[in-house]
């Protein structure tokens, strides 16, 4: 079938500011923990979650959610295409 590929590896790339939010949760630590558990849940299902963070402020939070090795910071939006290419090659070597 055209367009279908079998792969043992699955990946979700999340483009984020690194600060989770929800309209009905006020505690930021709960939001971070919920997001971290979601990333762990994906990993348990064989799906890697990788956070691409736009800007410096959210990098520590995103590292807590996705793991230090699964987080990349992009300082400026103009840098995004090059950083995504870098991410592709980094992940292809794993």
pLDDT at 78: 95
Do the beta carbons of residue 32 and residue 66 sit within 8 Å? no
Question: Residue range 27-50: average pLDDT?
Answer: 91
Question: Is 80 exceeded by the pLDDT of residue 37?
Answer: yes
User: To the nearest 5 percent, what fractions of the chain are helix, strand and coil?
Assistant: 45, 20, 35
| Percent of the chain with pLDDT strictly greater than 90 | 60
Is pLDDT at 51 greater than 80 in this prediction?
Answer: yes
- Out of 2-16, 26-40, 68-82, pick the least confident: 2-16
Q: Which fold has domain 10-92?
A: Rossmann fold (3.40.50)
Q: Where are the domains of the chain?
A: 10-92
Provide the strand spans (E) within the chain. 10-16, 47-54, 71-74
């Amino acid at each position: 079938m055209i367009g279908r590929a079998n792969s043992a590896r699955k990946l979700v790339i999340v483009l984020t500011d690194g600060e989770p939010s929800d309209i009905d949760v006020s505690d930021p630590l709960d939001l971070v923990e919920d997001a971290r558990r979601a990333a762990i849940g994906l990993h348990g299902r064989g799906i890697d979650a990788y956070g691409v963070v736009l800007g410096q402020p959210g990098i520590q939070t995103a590292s807590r959610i996705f793991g230090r090795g699964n987080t990349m910071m992009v300082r400026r939006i103009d840098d995004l295409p090059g950083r995504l290419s870098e991410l592709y090659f980094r992940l292809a070597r794993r």
